[in-house]
Amino acid sequence: MERINTYRAGPNESGHFGIFGGRYVAETLMPLVLELEKAYTKAKADPAFASEFEYYLRQYVGRPNPLYFAERLTRHCGGAKIYPSDGCGTILKIDDFAHVTLITGASEIGQGSDDILAAVVAAVLGVTTYDIRVYSGDTDLGPVDLGSFSSRVTLMAGNSAIQAAERAKAMLAEAVADKLQVPKERLRFADNAVFDTAAPEKRVTFQEAVCLGETRFGTIGTVWSSPQTNMPAPTKGGR
């Protein structure tokens, strides 16, 4: 005997399970719900909507995340606001256990700069923030930095960390490209692995990539100093 009301038989195109189901909202809201449904059905077929939706799934949803461009906030604030600074240095090292050590002169004073630096380096190398160790605020150990003031740390220390990570990534990419026999331009670093975008089955783990890099170059260590040049937006403030 067929059961007309069962969760296993639906829902149908109207959202009902048998003779029950549907939208449980106030009657006065139904015109708005139907209008929303119509707009969403139209948007789902729009390639621009699908592209933006995929962008936010990739850049915003879930943890840990890469940094993303806060477009509306930037527009609300009238564009980027960057304060002058004389630069920041970064020392980056990767050991054969795939632990990434980042040494910076930027001081963590509660503004979250250590987390930011870990996030940008993780995004470049395709690992998680749990794989990054940040050492900051030690003037004996760390490179030059003139201090955490204004809103300079993310820009100056962040770009310095990114460039140091990019240098290390280039070394690893060269070694992995030789191993996999693929152009290094096709390699992608993501999910703690390095793989060929044209043939994703050709891959090595990030730790294997580090070992390949060490075999070819020795210790994977890079440095970068980020002076105040080629600013991407007008500066504010002064000294």
Residue 123 lies in a domain: yes
Residue 166 lies in a domain: yes
Q: Assess contact for 167 and 124: CB atoms under 8 A.
A: no
By the 10 Å C-beta count (0-12 exposed, 13-18 middle, 19+ buried), 3 is classed as: exposed
Element of type H or E holding 91: strand 88-94
Number of domains in the chain: 1
| DSSP 8-state symbol, 129 | G
Alpha-carbon distances of 77 from 132, 150, 224, rounded to whole Å: 32, 16, 30
Q: In what order do the strands lie in the sheet with 88-94?
A: 132-136, 100-104, 88-94, 220-226
Element of type H or E holding 21: strand 20-21
How far apart CA 206 and CA 162 sit, in angstroms, is 18
Enter the pTM of the model.
0.61
Q: What is the pLDDT of residues 203-225, one digit of tens each?
A: 999 999 999 999 999 999 999 88
Return the CATH number at 149: 3.30.365.10
Residue 112 lies in a domain: yes
Alpha-carbon distances of 213 from 34, 102, 189, 216, rounded to whole Å: 58, 18, 14, 5
Question: Does the pLDDT value for residue 67 go beyond 50?
Answer: yes
Element of type H or E holding 17: strand 16-17
Question: Does the pLDDT value for residue 183 go beyond 90?
Answer: yes
Encoded amino acid at 107, one letter: S
For residue 130, the tally of other CB atoms under 10 A from its CB is 9
The range of the structural domain enclosing residue 153 comes to: 88-226
Residue 135 lies in a domain: yes
Residue 144's nearest CA partner among 91, 72, 69 is: 91
Residue 198 lies in a domain: yes
Residue 232 lies in a domain: no
Residue of higher predicted confidence among 228 and 20? 20
Residue 165 lies in a domain: yes
Mean pLDDT of the chain: 83
**Buried b / exposed e across 31-53, counting CB within 10 Å, b at 16+?**
eeeeeeeeeeeeeeeeeeeeeee
Residue 119 lies in a domain: yes
Q: What is the pLDDT of residues 119-150, one digit of tens each?
A: 999 999 999 999 999 998 887 888 877 767 65
